[in-house]
Amino acid sequence: MKRIRSLIAGAVCLAGLTGVTVSAQAADTIKVGILHSLSGTMAISETTLKDAMLMLIEDANANGGVLGKQIEPVVVDPASDWPLFAEKTRELLEKEQVDVIFGCWTSVSRKSVLPVVEELNGLLFYPVQYEGEESSRNIFYTGAAPNQQAIPAVDYLLNDLGVERFVLAGTDYVYPRTTNKILAQYLKDKGVAESDIMINYTPFGHSDWQTIVSDIKSFGSAGKKTAVVSTINGDANVPFYKELANQGLEAQDIPVIAFSVGEEELAGIDTGPLVGHMAAWNYFMSEMTPENDAFIEKWHAFTGDDGRVTNDPMEAHYIGFNMWKQAVEQAGTTDVDAVRQAMYGQEVPNLTGGISTMLTNHHITKPVLIGEIQPDGQFATVSRTDDLVPGDAWSDFLPESAKLTADWTYPWVCGNCEKPKFGDPAM
């Protein structure tokens, strides 16, 4: 175990200098690409996912690897630069000849990578919540689709908290814009007036929130219960929450429910003034299950720091990596086409006490949890779905998408086919 860790540590150190690890002979190892920003605005969220992948690989190697071979991590830093994600992906697949890639956080980085993995027939496991409206035969989406996070979160605000006015605040890129398009239509379908929906976008790394928070405060003073639905990403969350506290916007007044703020992001914030604000995820570190206890124990042992937190995208990597290992063993090869077919129906225990299954639309089944921020930066779960929710690639709440389905098995083999109507031969 010590020798494995020293080899990985050396690889990570070298990655910081050159961008990639030095490869052992390709025939001797199975190579896994790790594509996460270690610098730039998204490093606050993505660095820990790189560490999580190294932990999972170390643990797998200690238990015999895959197909009797050790797994070799190949770490690159796309540096929160969206075109660089595509370049690093091509480097991983063509130069390093990795067998699979685990990575990305933002949807704009994933969309930068998508044409490259499709062109070169690579395989990407994407671990973060996203906007849906996409299905690629070369990507497995282990994070939440909108029906596994955004829609249940809004339902909670409507039904449990009685919210009548909504601020949809997001970073200015594809995930917030598409998610808010879905949510705005969903809210209107639920009877919320357009005048009761405020939408605001800010750039990555935005730091001056005084005017925007003042506008939110004014919008919430109309005598109707108001909430903020936040798709703000990266390090912009730190000054956003600080400004909420500065202007005295507490959870009982205008609650915030976030889709991109977890335990890792809260680790850099004074959470005292934020108690009661919420997040919607599919996992919280505070979940008390044997699986989660074991995962946290391994994480603390690996990092050597009992203060390091876990979070939802880490669990998504845990599920995706274990599904990939099982599929490789079942297929008897790392060949992408064979592994893809073996992925369908793979089951892995998640960390909240259920079994997640890979569906033929390349999404998994997940529970949905709503948690309130606690003074220690953890979340207290206040709502959860009774069952695991199947991820939906195409939203039922946008007319152009409601008619579409994704199914990558015969006879469909299609990511954006029209759903069969009753009586069609496909039925």
| CATH of residue 228 | 3.40.50.2300
Whether residue 340 is found in the same domain as residue 377 = no
Nearest CA-CA partner of 279 in 299, 265, 295: 265
The residue count for the chain: 427
> Is 78 part of any domain?
yes
Cα distance between residue 219 and residue 222, in whole Å? 6
Please indicate, yes or no, whether residues 191 and 225 belong to a single structural domain of this protein.
Answer: yes
β-strand partners of 170: 201, 231
Lowest mean pLDDT segment, chosen from 195-204, 239-248, 379-388: 239-248
pLDDT at 12 over 80: no
**Widest pairwise Cα distance in the chain:** 67
383: in domain? yes
Q: Are residues 292 and 238 in the same domain?
A: no
188-202, 287-301, 403-417: range with lowest mean pLDDT: 403-417
Judged against a pLDDT cut of 50, whether residue 65 lies above it is answered with yes
Q: Please report whether residue 181 resides in a domain.
A: yes
127 shares a domain with 246: no
Same domain, 182 and 115: no
What average pLDDT does the chain have?
91
Q: Do residues 251 and 332 both lie within one domain?
A: no
Is 421 a member of any domain?
no
For residues 350 and 375, membership in a common domain is answered with no
- Assess whether 199 and 142 both reside in one domain: no
Work out how many domains the chain is built from and give that number: 2
Residue 411: inside a domain, yes or no? no
Please state, in angstroms and as integers, the Cα–Cα distance from residue 262 to each residue in 95, 183, 286, 386, following that order.
35, 21, 11, 22
**Residue 208 forms part of a structural domain:** yes
Same domain, yes or no, for 99 and 116?
Answer: yes
In which band, very low, low, confident or very high, does the pLDDT at 238 lie, cut at 50, 70 and 90? Answer: confident
- For the cut 80, the answer to whether the pLDDT of residue 384 exceeds it is yes
Is the bond preceding 367 in cis, omega lying within 30 degrees of 0?
Answer: no
When mean pLDDT is compared across 13-27, 33-47, 248-262, 339-353, the lowest value belongs to 13-27
**Interval 82-99 mean pLDDT:** 98
Residue 344 has pLDDT above 70, yes or no: yes
For residues 218-239, give the mean pLDDT: 94
Lowest mean pLDDT among 7-11, 122-126, 408-412, 419-423: 7-11
Confidence of residue 49 (pLDDT cuts 50, 70, 90): very high
Q: Which residues pair with 247 in a beta bridge?
A: none
Give the residue numbers spanning the domain of 30.
2-146+288-365
Q: Which domain-ending residue is among 332, 365, 398? A: 365
Say whether pLDDT at 23 is over 60.
no
State yes or no: pLDDT of 281 exceeds 90: yes
Q: How far is CA 97 from the centre of its chain?
A: 25
Q: What are phi and psi of 277, to 5 degrees?
A: -65, 160
The model carries a pTM of: 0.88
- Residues 84 and 110 both lie in one domain: yes
400-426: average pLDDT? 75
Same domain, 359 and 376: no
Whether 396 maps to a domain, the answer reads no
Residues 122 and 6 in one domain: yes
pLDDT tens per residue, range 184-213: 999 999 999 999 999 999 999 999 999 999
| pLDDT of 260 over the 80 cut | yes
Query: What pLDDT was estimated at residue 411?
Result: 59
* Residue 404 placed within a domain: no
Q: Which residue has the tokens 């529970």?
A: 367
State the average pLDDT over residues 382-396.
Answer: 95
Instruction: Report the amino acid identity of residue 204.
Output: F
Q: Which residue has the higher pLDDT, 272 or 4?
A: 272
pLDDT of residue 421: 59
What confidence tier does 39 reach under pLDDT thresholds 50, 70, 90? very high
